[in-house]
Amino acid sequence: MNVTEVERTLGAAEDSCRASGARLTDKRKNVLAVLLRSQKPLSAYDIVDQYSKDYGGPIPAMSVYRMLEFLAKENLAHKLNSENKYLACAHINCNHHHRTPQFLICGSCNKVIEIGIRPEMIEALRDAVKAAGFRLQSSQLELNCLCDNCAKESVTTADS
């Protein structure tokens, strides 16, 4: 994401927080900026390292965890439970209602794409879970995949 897109997204995040009565402090905004500039999901410790490089000062890991919790609560970031890493929401600048997020995670290069799941698919999952005698705690899905670039490389390598 280029500088202009990051700034525009941070502005939309501030507007979203203001609308919900939350406060996007400078440090929270900086943590979100680190996520927005990253090409891959980051652990809290990755964020600590990048934050100190970008902003010239240390930030405690426990503070980063609290900030990430805030960003997730405000739907500005998502936690990938399977990897214990975080990424900025892909829909911060959108004005439409968001679907339930589904994350496609490349097992080779760790690229992650966020897509939305149709409500009827979530209902079908919820019904199947209930029929099995369970209650769905979270409808977030994380699918292990292979991105097109890595798939092409694996075919090229196999042909050699």
pLDDT digits (tens, 9 = 90+) for 99-117: 888 999 999 999 999 998 8
Binned at pLDDT 50, 70 and 90, residue 46 comes out as very high
Task: Judge contact between 93 and 9, C-beta under 8 A.
Answer: yes
Binned at pLDDT 50, 70 and 90, residue 4 comes out as very high
Percent of the chain with pLDDT over 90: 77
pLDDT at 153 over 80: yes
Angle between helices 26-37 and 3-20 (to 10 degrees): 140
- Number of C-beta neighbours around residue 68 at 10 A: 24
Domains defined along the chain, listed by start: 1-96 (1.10.10.10), 99-160 (3.30.1490.190)
